[in-house]
C-alpha cells in the first residue's frame, strides 16, 4: 500500500482536489496567455530563411507599393458598349474611397503626374530614349529633304476638309516633324499593360473592361490590413454598382485576404471536426461512449491548452500553420488516455481501490506513454529543422502540446478517476471483441510476418524500378491557394483582358548609388533579352528602363550632334517653313525645343523621377521615395504563358537565373520562385530527415526499453 501510494506519480490520486485545483489554475493562466496571442500577420513566416529569393520577396512585399495593389476589373454587361459607364463608375468609386484611412489612392487612368513627367522630363530628353534604329530614323527625318516632305504633308492634312482641322493644326504646330512618333513607339513597347486606343483610361484590349488600382497605406505583409481593405473596397463596389456591371476583385491584398479567411475557417472546422470524429469513433467502439469520451478527451484538451500557454510565453504571435495543430494533437494525445483507462478499469475489476488502481496504472504505463510521447516529439523535431519559420513554429507547438497531453494524462485523469469512484459504471465495454482476431493472428504469426516481408520487398522493388521521377511534386502552383478562390480566378481574367500574363515574376535590384541602380537595371534588361531567355518564355520587362534612359546611350548621344550640325538642321527647318504656307514665327518655340534637345540636355535620373510619386512608386520602394534608401528598385518580368505549370516554371526560372548568375545586386524573386526553391529543398532534405528521424526513434526505443 505504502509503495503504491508513494511518489509523485500517485500524488494526484492521493490529493485529487488539490490536483484538479492546480490543473484548473494552470489552465486559466494558459488561456490568459493564449488570449494575448495573435496570428502572425506576416507572410514572411512562410518563406524559408537563407534563401535569397525569399529575402528579396520579403523586401518587395514590405517596401514596394506596386506589389500590394488591390485590382478591381469593371466589365460592361453583354448588351452595353458605352465605356462612359465604366469611367463614371470609376469616378464614383474613387470619390467614395477618397477619405478612407486605409487607402492612399485610387487610379484608373494615366494620372496628371505621369503626363507631366513625360511632357517635362522625357520629351526634352527624347534623344536618350530612342533605340539605335529609331535614332537613325529620327536623324534621317532631320535632313532637309525629309523635313520639306513632312511640311508638305502637314499642309495637305490641314487643307483637307473636316471638323478636326483645328485640332490637327494645333498638334502639328507643337511637333511639325512628328518626331514624337519615334519616342511614342519606344515608350509603348515598354508599357506593362496594353490598353485600347489612345484613351488615358486603363481600358482592356477589347474596350469593354476598365482596370482600377486601389493603393493601400500599408504593405501586403500585414494580413489583417489586407482583409480590412478588401472588405471595405468590396462593400463599396457592390454598393455603387447601379448599372449592373460585372465586378472582379483581385491583386495581392484580395488574394491574401482570401487565404487568411480560409485559414481561419479551416482552423475552426479542423478543431470541431476532430472532436466530432473522435466522439463518433467512441460511439462505434464502446458502450456508454459519451462518458468514456469525456474522461479520455478532457485531459487531452487541457494538455493542449497547457502547451499553447507555454508557447505564449515564448512569443505573442503564432503562425497560421501552428494554430491548426490542435486538431492533430487531439488525435495523437487521446492515445495516452485511451491506453490508460482500460488498465485502470481492469485494476478496479480486480478489487483495487481507485487510489491503488490509479497508482498501479501510472507506474505500469508511465514508461510506455513516455516512449510514445517522445517518439512523436522526435517527428515534430524533424519538421522543426526546416528553414521555414512557420514549420518550426508548427513543430514547437506540436511538441509542447504533446508534452502537455502526456502531463494531463498522468496528472488530471488520475484525479478525475479517484473523484468519480470505483465500480462498473465508470468503465466502458467495447462493442467489438477483437480477441478472436488477435488469437488467429498469433496462431499464424510466421505466415503473416512472411507475407509482410514479401509485401515490403515488392513495394521497395516498385519504388526502385519505377520509371521517371519518384514522387514528383504537384506541378500546378495554384494548388497552394485555397479553393474556391475568386480573387485568384479574377487575376487570370485581368491578365487576359489587359494583355499580360498572370505568371509574372519580379527582380529585386539594389546598388550602391542611384546611378549604379539605373545602370544595373539596364544590365538586367540586356541579360533578359538574350536568345536563351526569350526562348524560355520571357517577352518583356518593366522597370527603371521604362522611365529613365540607359547611361551608356546617354554617353553616346550627348555629343551625337555637333554645334555645326544643329545649326544646319535649324536653318534647313526654317527654310522649309519659309517655303511653305506656315508662319516661321509660330514655330519659334519648336525651334528652341529642337536646339535644346539636339544639344544634349541633362539626362533624367532617379532624382528627376522622385517628385512624380504615383509613377515612381510602381518600381521604387517606399524608403527610396522618402529619400532614406536611394538604391533599390523592382523590375517585373513578363512571360508568354502562365507559370503555374511546374515544367514551364522550372524552364523559365533556370533561364533567368542563369542569365543573372554573375550580376551582383539582381535577385529573381516571386512566390513561384520561392515555391520552386522550397520544392527543391524538400526533395533534397526529405530522405535525410526520414532516415535521421527513423534512426533517432530506433535509438531512443533501444535505450528506453
pLDDT exceeds 50 at position 324:
yes
C-alpha cell at 120: 517635362
Cell numbers 476589373: residue: 73
Residue appearing with cell numbers 499593360: 193
Q: How many helices (H) does the chain have, and how many strands (E)?
A: 30, 10
What letter would DSSP give residue 430?
Answer: B
- Residue scoring higher pLDDT (337 or 626): 337
Cα angle, residue 703 at apex, residues 701 and 705 outer, rounded to 5°: 65
- pLDDT bin (cut points 50, 70, 90) of residue 503 is low
Q: Counting Cβ atoms within 10 Å, is residue 335 exposed (0-12), middle (13-18) or buried (19+)?
A: middle
Structure confidence at residue 40 (pLDDT): 65
Locate 161 and state its grid cell: 476638309
Distances (CA, A) of 438 to 270, 315, 445, 593: 33, 48, 10, 98
pLDDT in tens, 22-63: 999 999 999 998 888 766 655 566 666 667 877 777 777 777
Q: Which three cell numbers stand for residue 657?
A: 537565373
φ, ψ of residue 393 in degrees (nearest 5): -65, -40
Given a cut of 60, whether residue 10 has pLDDT beyond it is yes
The answer to whether the beta carbons of residues 642 and 502 sit under 8 Å apart is: yes
- Nearest-angstrom CA–CA distance, 355 and 415: 9
Q: How far apart are CA 85 and CA 619, in angstroms?
A: 31
pLDDT-derived band of residue 660, with 50, 70 and 90 as boundaries? very high
Closest by CA position to 358, among listed 14, 703, 702, 3? 14
User: What pLDDT, in 10s, does the model give residues 590-603?
Assistant: 888 888 888 888 89
Residues 220, 97 contacting (CB under 8 angstroms)? no
- Mean pLDDT (whole number) for 298-321: 86
Q: Which H helix or E strand runs over 685? A: helix 671-704
Residue 165 confidence (pLDDT): 43
Give me the percent of the chain exceeding a pLDDT of 70: 84
Say what the pLDDT of residue 1 is. 38
410, pLDDT greater than 60: yes
pLDDT of residue 166: 46
pTM attached to this predicted model: 0.70
What pLDDT score does 560 carry? 87
DSSP string, 567-585: HHHHHHHHHHHHTSSS-TG
115-119, 178-182, 314-318, 372-376 — most confident range: 372-376
Cβ atoms of 177 and 141 closer than 8 Å: yes
How many Å separate Cα 509 from the centre of its chain?
A: 19
How is residue 631 written as a grid cell? 538604391
Q: What is the DSSP letter of 71?
A: E
Residues 6+ apart with CB under 8 A from 442: none
Per-residue pLDDT reduced to its tens digit, 144-190: 999 999 888 887 777 655 444 444 455 555 778 888 888 877 776 66
| Residue (of 468, 454, 504) closest to 67 by Cα position | 504
Question: How far is it, in rounded angstroms, from Cα 649 to Cα 537?
Answer: 10
Question: pLDDT of 216-246, one tens digit each?
Answer: 888 766 777 888 899 999 999 999 998 889 9
CB distance 359 to 388 below 8 Å? no
Strand residues in 152-252 grouped as ranges (E): 209-216, 246-251
Please give the sequence-ordered ranges of beta strands (E in DSSP) within 406-537, or none if there are none. Answer: 505-510
Structure-derived torsion over alpha carbons of residues 518, 519, 520, 525, reported in degrees to the nearest 10: 90
pLDDT at residue 168, rounded to an integer: 45
Amino acid at each position: 500500500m505504502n509503495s503504491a501510494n508513494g511518489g509523485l506519480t500517485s500524488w494526484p490520486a492521493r490529493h485529487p482536489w488539490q490536483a484538479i485545483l492546480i490543473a484548473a489554475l494552470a489552465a486559466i493562466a494558459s488561456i490568459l496567455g493564449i488570449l494575448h496571442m495573435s496570428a502572425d500577420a506576416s507572410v514572411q513566416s512562410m518563406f524559408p530563411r537563407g534563401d535569397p529569393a525569399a529575402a528579396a520577396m520579403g523586401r518587395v512585399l514590405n517596401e514596394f507599393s506596386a506589389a500590394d495593389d488591390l485590382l478591381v476589373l469593371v466589365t460592361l454587361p453583354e448588351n452595353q458598349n458605352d465605356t462612359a459607364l465604366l469611367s463614371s463608375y470609376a469616378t464614383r468609386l474613387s470619390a467614395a474611397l477618397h477619405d478612407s484611412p486605409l487607402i492612399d489612392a485610387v487610379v484608373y487612368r494615366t494620372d496628371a503626374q505621369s503626363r507631366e513627367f513625360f511632357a517635362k522630363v522625357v520629351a526634352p530628353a527624347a534623344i536618350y530614349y530612342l533605340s539605335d534604329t529609331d535614332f537613325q530614323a529620327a536623324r534621317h527625318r532631320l535632313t532637309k529633304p525629309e523635313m520639306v516632305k513632312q511640311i508638305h504633308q502637314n499642309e495637305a492634312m490641314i487643307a483637307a476638309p473636316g471638323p478636326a482641322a483645328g485640332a490637327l493644326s494645333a498638334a502639328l504646330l507643337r511637333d511639325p516633324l512628328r518626331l514624337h512618333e519615334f519616342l511614342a513607339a519606344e515608350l509603348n513597347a515598354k508599357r506593362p499593360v496594353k490598353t485600347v486606343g489612345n484613351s488615358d483610361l486603363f481600358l482592356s484590349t477589347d474596350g469593354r473592361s476598365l482596370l482600377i488600382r486601389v493603393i493601400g497605406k500599408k504593405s501586403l505583409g500585414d494580413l489583417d490590413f489586407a482583409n480590412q481593405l478588401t472588405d471595405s473596397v468590396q462593400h463599396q463596389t457592390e454598393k455603387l454598382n447601379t448599372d449592373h456591371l460585372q465586378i472582379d476583385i483581385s491583386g495581392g491584398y484580395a488574394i491574401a485576404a482570401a487565404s487568411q479567411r480560409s485559414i481561419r475557417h479551416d482552423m475552426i472546422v479542423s478543431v470541431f471536426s476532430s472532436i466530432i470524429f473522435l466522439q463518433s469513433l467512441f460511439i462505434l467502439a464502446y458502450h456508454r461512449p459519451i462518458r468514456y469520451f469525456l474522461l479520455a478527451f478532457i485531459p487531452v484538451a487541457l494538455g493542449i491548452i497547457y502547451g499553447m500557454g507555454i508557447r505564449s510565453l515564448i512569443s505573442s504571435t503564432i503562425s497560421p500553420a501552428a494554430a491548426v495543430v490542435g486538431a492533430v494533437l487531439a488525435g495523437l494525445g487521446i492515445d495516452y488516455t485511451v491506453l490508460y483507462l482500460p488498465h485502470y478499469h481492469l485494476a478496479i475489476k480486480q478489487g483495487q481501490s481507485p487510489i491503488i488502481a490509479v497508482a498501479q496504472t501510472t507506474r505500469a504505463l508511465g514508461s510506455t506513454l513516455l516512449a510514445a510521447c517522445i517518439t512523436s516529439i522526435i517527428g515534430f523535431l524533424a519538421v522543426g529543422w526546416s528553414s521555414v519559420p512557420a514549420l518550426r513554429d508548427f513543430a514547437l507547438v506540436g511538441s509542447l502540446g504533446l508534452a502537455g497531453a502526456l502531463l494531463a494524462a498522468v496528472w488530471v485523469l488520475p484525479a478525475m478517476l479517484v473523484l468519480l469512484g470505483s465500480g462498473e459504471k465508470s468503465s466502458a465495454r467495447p462493442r467489438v471483441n477483437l480477441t478472436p482476431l488477435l488469437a488467429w493472428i498469433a496462431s499464424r504469426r510466421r505466415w503473416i510476418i512472411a507475407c509482410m516481408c514479401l509485401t515490403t520487398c515488392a513495394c521497395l522493388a516498385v519504388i526502385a524500378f519505377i520509371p521517371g521521377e519518384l514522387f514528383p511534386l504537384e506541378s500546378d502552383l495554384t494548388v497552394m491557394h485555397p479553393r474556391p478562390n475568386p480573387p485568384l480566378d479574377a487575376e487570370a481574367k485581368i491578365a487576359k483582358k489587359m494583355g499580360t500574363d498572370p505568371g509574372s515574376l519580379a527582380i529585386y535590384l539594389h546598388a550602391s548609388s542611384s546611378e549604379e541602380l539605373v545602370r544595373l537595371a539596364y544590365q538586367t534588361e540586356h541579360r533578359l533579352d538574350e536568345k536563351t531567355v526569350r526562348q524560355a518564355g520571357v517577352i518583356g520587362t518593366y522597370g527603371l528602363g521604362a522611365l529613365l534612359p540607359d547611361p551608356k546611350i546617354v554617353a553616346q548621344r550627348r555629343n551625337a550632334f555637333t554645334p555645326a550640325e544643329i545649326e544646319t538642321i535649324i536653318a534647313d527647318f526654317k527654310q522649309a517653313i519659309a517655303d511653305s504656307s506656315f508662319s516661321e514665327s509660330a514655330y519659334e518655340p519648336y525651334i528652341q525645343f529642337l536646339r535644346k534637345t539636339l544639344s544634349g540636355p541633362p539626362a533624367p535620373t532617379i532624382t528627376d523621377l522622385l517628385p512624380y510619386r504615383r509613377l515612381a512608386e510602381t518600381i521604387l520602394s517606399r524608403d527610396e521615395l522618402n529619400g532614406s534608401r536611394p538604391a533599390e528598385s523592382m523590375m517585373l518580368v513578363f512571360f508568354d504563358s502562365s507559370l503555374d505549370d511546374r515544367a514551364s516554371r522550372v524552364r523559365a526560372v533556370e533561364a533567368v537565373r542563369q542569365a543573372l548568375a554573375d550580376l551582383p545586386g539582381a535577385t529573381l524573386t516571386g512566390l513561384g520562385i520561392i515555391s520552386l526553391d522550397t520544392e527543391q529543398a524538400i526533395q533534397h532534405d526529405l530522405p535525410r530527415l526520414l532516415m535521421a528521424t527513423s534512426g533517432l526513434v530506433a535509438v531512443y526505443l533501444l535505450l528506453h526499453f
